[in-house]
A and B are shown apart, each in its own frame.
Chain A
Amino acid sequence: QKEVEQDPGPLSVPEGAIVSLNCTYSNSAFQYFMWYRQYSRKGPELLMYTYSSGNKEDGRFTAQVDKSSKYISLFIRDSQPSDSATYLCAMSPPNTDKLIFGTGTRLQVFP
């Protein structure tokens, strides 16, 4: 079993839809959770960062962490064609420089 599981998609939605992207994990020691966005043939860029449980909002993006269920989510409101990309979750336990990545979910937003 992988430490981090992420549905590869693709997830195809119409412009303006609310998108929900999710990851599950098995290591209860994880405390730092991130979402990266990767456009085709580009490097991943850090989109959202959260510590421990709770929600964090940044514009149209909301990151949610439920440590009791070992489940994290990224919500995108009013999705745009420019949001079409692969979204990778990543997480880390404390006192380490290692990030564990999900395999990524490919999102397509059509006009």
Chain B
Amino acid sequence: DGGITQSPKYLFRKEGQNVTLSCEQNLNHDAMYWYRQDPGQGLRLIYYSQIVNDFQKGDIAEGYSVSREKKESFPLTVTSAQKNPTAFYLCASSIGEGQYGYTFGSGTRLTVV
């Protein structure tokens, strides 16, 4: 079955540490996205990539970094510069045109301890 796999499902991080969230898709989608979801704030776009080796900042990119070395993979690194990293992180992909909607992964819950 085609889909998006995010791992791990739960992640705990000590303050001052960088962590990387994994996102892999086998849908042959060109575009991939990272969102952050906080209660009452909806989905906020962190980074997106429309093609391999290229990506753009979203609305809240500060403290995050990404790479897109393969079409299937779009990992997100939450750096120590991110002041409030505890959140639910969602990865999504699309064929590259928003009119067809996005397919989402099941999310990673990151908690800073």
Out of A36, A92, A103, A104, which one reaches B98, CB within 8 Å? A92
- Check A88–B99 contact: CB distance below 8 A: no
Note all chain B residues with C-beta closer than 8 A to A95: 97
Decide if B46 is an interface residue (CB 8 Å cutoff): no
In the complex with contacts A92-B99, A97-B98, A103-B41, A45-B104 CB distance below 8 A: yes
Decide if A21 is an interface residue (CB 8 Å cutoff): no
User: What band does the interface of chain B fall in when counting residues whose beta carbon is under 8 Å from A?
Assistant: 20 to 34
- Check B40–A44 contact: CB distance below 8 A: no
Note all chain A residues with C-beta closer than 8 A to B31: 97
Docked Cα-Cα span, A34 to B98, in Å, equals 10
Docked Cα-Cα span, A104 to B103, in Å, equals 17
Note all chain B residues with C-beta closer than 8 A to A25: none
Decide if A61 is an interface residue (CB 8 Å cutoff): no
> Chain A interface mostly helix, strand, loop or mixed?
loop
Count A-B contacts at CB 8 Å.
Answer: 57
Decide if B109 is an interface residue (CB 8 Å cutoff): yes
Give the residue among B50, B96, B99 with the most A Cβ atoms within 10 A. Answer: B99
Note all chain B residues with C-beta closer than 8 A to A99: 98, 101-102
Docked Cα-Cα span, A37 to B109, in Å, equals 18
Note all chain B residues with C-beta closer than 8 A to A8: 40
* Interface residues in chain B, defined as those with a beta carbon under 8 Å from any beta carbon in chain A: 4, 6, 31, 40-43, 48, 50, 88, 90, 92, 94, 96-107, 109
